[in-house]
Structure 1
């Protein structure tokens, strides 16, 4: 594969920059599990509605999140499976790296002897 163009690298850096915000990364993570409206996201990620809305606007502008209307409700979702795969891979690897080591079971002792 040829080296990516400067334009592509700049765009990728911009996307990684957007996801460098823990609240935005949490929002994308939550939406990767299933679509949601702003209220549902605020409950799930623990943020105020205006802040969640601002994060969603930035993620939409970057093309990471899309939305559709359902009556008066706006439902958000991640429409790019490759972005979700990259994010899940990174988060899963970091979680595994930071997990406490599993204890080694003690050897069994024989009784009565």
Structure 2
């Protein structure tokens, strides 16, 4: 009986299927290459951090900040301060204004108050 049970356990362990809600290991493994979508999402989060926290744009070039970001995501290359404060910030402002415009376009009977 013991031998039969051990054989049964061995067979079931070798042939075990993943549960439907079980996540793939690829979801936890960060590849060394970032897709354009991932880079864009990180850039947007970085812009939000600097704008909402009123941080100096010089911080992005500080060696400790660079080291911190590299520890979090080694494949991500921080943009230069001037690119962050101009091009990426302008793109984010455009994105936010477009989103607000779409929301306001759907509304009716709006009133501005002071």
Bucket of the pairwise TM-score, normalised by the shorter protein: 0.3 to 0.5
Give TM-score scaled by structure 1 length: 0.35
Which structure shows the bigger proportion of residues in helix conformation?
Answer: 2
TM-score, length of structure 2 as denominator length: 0.35
Larger radius of gyration: 2
